Structure 1
């Protein structure tokens, strides 16, 4: 397999552009929120921190940007991280790759990974939390793409769920009518919490280990998964951020956040990979909510 140098740069640059577009859109939501709960607060802004990763021998192993907004008038906490990391996989990560069918990791465990990861927790309990990521992973033996987005409302609205899914379907349908039902079913399976016997939210789309043999086609598919996010999510925030809420609504939100935290700490593969490969722990764990509750 070739080094895929051009493809790596192309993918990494696009993930960074998607990050920039989302950060601008979210700060725009903060600026335009001028009526309803929390509107009297100052609009939130992202704090941007460079993240770094070093290999076991102390050499540079990549990094990225951690962008976190806390205490906005729409977003209570939202993180939009982008990173490009590389180096040599440790023993545990090599075994995990081998278990996923990647050959040759014991003889050449080099890797490269780039992607964007987003989690938003909202001030208004009526506005849904959300998760999104897209990524590319390379080893000398295989490459693949992954990604998706899923909606996590604590107070569910049928019409919001329908809009979120319809927008994703519209972006996937040009790639073939089978893609949306396939990725929806994958999300339903992946974002399930076995010890609670329930889903984390109302689903979305999820894809992993995508390698059709046509890098360009798989990259365009991944881009469309990313492009679907803002039109699927922003209208829901614009609609729900103005609704009044009370302490009971907030309590429901905090309990649901506990469910979200359980999933991310126990099951999420991205969390496990980030910590296992030595990436900045604060960046890996930015998905956790600012406040949560268990009953």
Structure 2
């Protein structure tokens, strides 16, 4: 039976409400694993799901062991809020202290064939941690990166909707927008949830994180001592265009210039500023700037300054290279 999540605000918490600057790559990765294991949202996700399952194969089952679709999943899988740089987030996840891993992984129900590996991860054995990193990179490259431009665009549209609500009525208007009619009854925000739960903010504020792959009800961290975050599903979204990510088509390009640089180049099918490029490519601003410099020196992109902002776009050579990689 469905329950309710009740988030208890103080005056300071309402004042400290903020919306994340963009989608969080590890939250989207975790939520996408849930979608992969179910038949939810057939119209939106079936094309993505079928293609991802076909390309992922058996190794994805090891990750799914750590992140089941039903019930709760370990907090260490989502150590960031609003971070688009996958490698930076992965480094944080893989450096989770052993004591915390043992507690969180010890609460999972694990198939017998996976118990030895899960115990090795919980004990931070180097080989197991390296394997976890390898599996996560492969999953992200195969299932998340092809959808990332859609994720960024849809989350950006939601952030604009929340910004408009804030301009109309401040933080309380945002909370009303999140909960719908009757869901925000100061000082409590009440939302649908898999079970009944109370979260007391105690002056720490709340980060609101719209998520493309989150479905039906919001998510939050299990440990009430961790910084509070509310991850919630978009009300309106479009499906990932079938094959639009073209990660499979970018594999030869990625092998030649590197997967992140290939993603940066692919993102510039439309001109972007450095910060927008970073969000579209799923990397940090300094990383996007560095890759743009290399691509510019190679003659694949050009950079112009418009009203003090660097705007990058493809050269004919860059466009031809991308066209040659499109299946």
TM-score (norm 1): 0.28
Asked which structure has the greater RCO (Cα within 8 Å, sep 6+), the reply is 2
**Normalization by structure 2: what TM-score?**
0.26
Which has the larger Rg? 2
- 1 or 2, which has the higher strand percentage? 1
